[in-house]
Chain A
Amino acid sequence: MLDQQTQTGQAVQSPENTAGNPLVDGGVKVAARNANVYYGSKHAIKDVSLDIAPNEVTAFIGPSGCGKSTFLRCLNRMNDIIDICRVTGDIRLDGEDIYDRKVDVVQLRARVGMVFQKPNPFPKSIFENVAYGPRIHGLVSNKDELEEVVTTSLERAGLLNEVQDRLESPGTGLSGGQQQRLCIARAIAVSPEVILMDEPCSALDPIATAKIEELIDELRQNYTIVIVTHSMQQAARVSQRTAFFHLGNLVEMGDTETIFTNPEHKLTQGYITGRFG
């Protein structure tokens, strides 16, 4: 275990092994309490408790292999598709336990959308890529509505201008950055409440990255966003709160400003100053 400093004098009781303020006072969109994840016998996430506030961008940072993706994937149960993966603890979306037997994974994933590290549009047309979600969830009743949803989603993802006249061309024919924005459009087309992004810019050049970051900032108005990133600058630029993971532990979490200017834990200090990572 880490040498931890127990925080006292907080409105909410803070988990013992995490520095900073992993929990929030106000509204909570997603709450995890003592979440543990095992891959077979490997303990990948150790007793993580944190809150994610609505309409904010929360960034997960940490060295490679520390479990950021693993934890992110717990939030929409994407880990279910890995046979050896086992999740314990309590993860709640709007107060409802998402690992409850009664919860329908399909519906959960419609509420908690995901954007992956590598742009992965379906090998179909741009239109079909965005229309797929609303169609399978029965969110639209006719063609006009569908077109409406597709256009607004593309619009919000900042892609509409670039693809307006070629909606029928394959989504895989776009540039990397456009593909990633297409994936974001696909995710927001089903009107999720939370969007999980796992290193959405790692395959992109600085200009495309800047566009996505801008987009994330805009999307914050309507969605709760959790983003995994390896770029400290990116975390600082887009997020309001930042969580630092290390070897499966949530070492420190707090306001992005605090984390980057005045971190409590020395591991965090070391990481953000680039002494290890």
Chain B
Amino acid sequence: MKPESGTINTPTQKMRATLRRRYAAERRFRAYGIIAILLALAMLVTLFVTIVGNGLGAFVQHTVRLDISIYPQDIDPENETDLEALARANYQSLVNDALYSLFPDATTRRDRKDLRALISPDAKFVVRDMVLDDPSLIGQRVSIRVPLASEFDQVLKGNVDPAVDFRAMREGITEIPWSLPAGERLISDAQAGYLQQLMRQGEIEGSFNRWFFTNGDSRNPETAGIWGAAVGSFFTLLVTLALSFPIGVAAAIYLEEFAPKNRLTDIIEVNINNLAAVPSIVFGLLGLAVFLQFFGLPRSAPLVGGMVLTLMTLPTIIIASRAALKSVPPSIREAALGVGASKLQCIFHHVLPLAMPGMLTGTIIGMAQALGETAPLLMIGMVAFVVDVPGSPIDPATVLPVQIYLWADSPERAFTERTSAAIMCLLGFLILMNAVAVLLRKRFERRW
């Protein structure tokens, strides 16, 4: 073999040629990878930017300060100071009186109607809750901030074309600075005037929207909150966890460690894998047919929601747990059996602790799935409009993703904002759960 330039015949030369191709392939592959990651990141960033951009406004709510005189004769004529009677009393008139006193000129029915529309119809509940919290306020004159109706809140936030330049309004121009011709304006002349006056007096202020975090759902976006849905989600997940973790782990242990290897267990195994791929709405229909219609469990209850989601998460947990059990090195089992541990002792003392991180990770992934699940819950009535925060797993409730679905369906601009805010909260919970998963894995992980 004589080395000639230009011809490839020695092994080294051949190798060099393929080597170049190999490096090129490697570079190409790396480039694909980087492009894929950049694309994914770009999408993620777009998603986050849109959601945060849309939803951040929901954490601020404009409020009006009202001086309300809480006369006992209005709300507690019989002087019962009984909480139930107080809860039933007519707070609307207190709010209205306070409002009218701010604008003594508004005397016609039309004017007063316009005026009342400025603030949220739920302002009375804000007053009621304050009085219920502290009945000693009765007979006093208190200053309280009530939420502005959502149309005006949105106008002040600049989310809808305000038809009027509110920054200009603040600056002492008496003329209302309309930016749209009459007829296309969203708010009436009178309302613009009232708002202008309130702003000049410094009564209107945008502040942290506590109602969003403390209330249940409401027809009025300004007082609609996610607390009810969050508690519903919490109860639902609690039921799911309480059912699916023990059942899933027990099933995995049985199938992996005790079940004889025969036709029947093969069929069970295949079916569990299939169940993981069943569309979740099917589980919802199953829940409707079995839990609601056959067993007569309550509708819209987190208990049933949790049971349905258990069906959905079980395959995930079982598969993850079995994988975790399989990954425990056989040498550990041999060691345990070798010193005379029984099979059960071997599993519970040695195999399970080592498999636990994997099992927990699987469970938390399953829970995260369950937290984001909507379709099966629609089937069992958790899509109902629920104002009250549920107190137990059998109270009617909704869950965060369903709440998002409900709000996304509402036409009001304020609900759009709240939809995004609720999505932010849901994502926050998911990130929290995943962080817990990572933490647990780190905490329980042991090397061998």
Bound together, the chains give a CA A76 to CA B331 distance in angstroms of: 16
CB contacts between A and B, total, < 8 Å: 69
Which parts of A120-159 form the interface with B (CB within 8 Å)? 120-123, 132-133, 136-137
Closest to B331 in A: A120
**B261 near A120 (CB under 8 angstroms)?**
no
Q: Chain A CB within 10 Å — which of B329, B336, B337 has the most? A: B337
Which parts of B333-389 form the interface with A (CB within 8 Å)? 333-342, 345, 349-350, 354
Residues of B within 8 A of A133 (CB): 339-340
- Smallest distance from the beta carbon of A126 to chain B beta carbons, Å? 14
Residues of B within 8 A of A110 (CB): 339-340
Bound together, the chains give a CA A172 to CA B334 distance in angstroms of: 16
**B338 near A123 (CB under 8 angstroms)?**
no
**A120 near B446 (CB under 8 angstroms)?**
no
**Beta-carbon contacts of A93-128 to B below 8 Å, as 1s and 0s?**
000000000000011111001111010111100000
Interface size class of B (residues with CB under 8 A): 20 to 34
Given A83-B261, A123-B447: A118 and B331 within 8 A (CB)?
yes
**B341 near A122 (CB under 8 angstroms)?**
no
Closest to A186 in B: B339
Residues of A within 8 A of B340 (CB): 106-110, 133, 136-137, 190
**A132 near B342 (CB under 8 angstroms)?**
no
**A113 near B339 (CB under 8 angstroms)?**
yes
Residues of B within 8 A of A114 (CB): 334, 338
Residues of B within 8 A of A121 (CB): 335, 448
Residues of B within 8 A of A253 (CB): none
Residues of A within 8 A of B425 (CB): none
- Smallest distance from the beta carbon of A100 to chain B beta carbons, Å? 17
**B350 near A78 (CB under 8 angstroms)?**
no
**B335 near A78 (CB under 8 angstroms)?**
no
- Smallest distance from the beta carbon of A170 to chain B beta carbons, Å? 8
Residues of B within 8 A of A132 (CB): 336, 339, 341, 349
- Smallest distance from the beta carbon of A134 to chain B beta carbons, Å? 9
Closest to A130 in B: B339
Given A106-B341, A136-B341: A183 and B331 within 8 A (CB)?
no
Residues of B within 8 A of A1 (CB): none
Bound together, the chains give a CA A109 to CA B338 distance in angstroms of: 6
Residues of B within 8 A of A189 (CB): 339
Instruction: Tell me if A81 counts as interface (CB < 8 A to partner B).
Output: yes
Bound together, the chains give a CA A254 to CA B157 distance in angstroms of: 97
Given A136-B341, A172-B448: A123 and B261 within 8 A (CB)?
no
Instruction: Tell me if A45 counts as interface (CB < 8 A to partner B).
Output: no
Instruction: Tell me if A238 counts as interface (CB < 8 A to partner B).
Output: no
**B261 near A116 (CB under 8 angstroms)?**
no
- Smallest distance from the beta carbon of A177 to chain B beta carbons, Å? 17
- Smallest distance from the beta carbon of B105 to chain A beta carbons, Å? 81
Bound together, the chains give a CA A87 to CA B441 distance in angstroms of: 41
Residues of A within 8 A of B354 (CB): 123
Instruction: Tell me if A251 counts as interface (CB < 8 A to partner B).
Output: no
Instruction: Tell me if B332 counts as interface (CB < 8 A to partner A).
Output: yes
Q: Chain B CB within 10 Å — which of A78, A132, A190 has the most? A: A132
Closest to A111 in B: B340
Report 14 cross-chain contacts, Cβ distance below 8 Å, ordered by A residue: A106-B341, A115-B338, A120-B332, A121-B335, A121-B448, A122-B336, A122-B350, A123-B332, A123-B448, A136-B341, A136-B345, A172-B448, A187-B338, A187-B339
Which residues of B pack against A, CB within 8 Å? 261, 329, 331-342, 345, 349-350, 354, 446-448
Which residues of A pack against B, CB within 8 Å? 76, 78, 81, 83, 106-110, 113-116, 118, 120-123, 132-133, 136-137, 170, 172, 183, 186-187, 189-190
A-B pairs, top 5 by smallest CB distance, nearest first, are A110-B340, A120-B331, A133-B339, A114-B338, A109-B340
A113-B339, A120-B331 known, 13 other contacts, Cβ within 8 Å = A78-B338, A107-B340, A109-B339, A116-B338, A120-B334, A121-B335, A121-B448, A122-B332, A122-B350, A136-B339, A136-B340, A136-B349, A186-B339
